[in-house]
Structure 1
């Protein structure tokens, strides 16, 4: 999706708009969190469940991970500062 979104922004000549930059940054942050945090916690929680403590931590991290994605969706709908 980030590649398609970037291609569409380039085709429509909108790469310089702030909301595109913010959305791309939030996407990178969410992707980085997924790779560095969520994946390792998921592996730990599924390999050694200790009464659900690690599963609860994983659930909390996943909820926090969803916040940047929610902000990206809102930016894509609202498009603040967009001329259209």
Structure 2
């Protein structure tokens, strides 16, 4: 259980540091002159959705499982399954953003 609590602390810290991602994204996009490009706008939207998912579902789900007292095994398994699914969706969103940032479809900035 200690490892799970430690990983939850890492996720909370990641969420706080992750606030810098959109700020740096806007600054970099403005410097490159691509703020109106579709790939950047989609990345910003996906980053926002991922952040909302992290704050509204993943972190509370982790807290719930860490703080849960003994209860029905079926309920704990269902909560763990929901958390795993939500975390997977969060990871897919971030993977999509990474691909968009690397590939930059339609970009004319020479990448």
TM-score normalised by length of structure 2: 0.69
Superposition pairs of residues 4-83 of structure 1, within 5 angstroms: 4-48=24-68, 50=71, 51=73, 52-53=76-77, 54-83=79-108
- The CA RMSD measured in Å over matched residues stands at 1.4
Deviation at 1:55, TM superposition (A): 2.5
Moved more, 1-10 or 49-58: 49-58
The structure having more radius of gyration, on CA atoms, is 2
Runs of 4+ deviating beyond 2 Å: 49-52, 54-57
Gaps of 5+ in 1: none
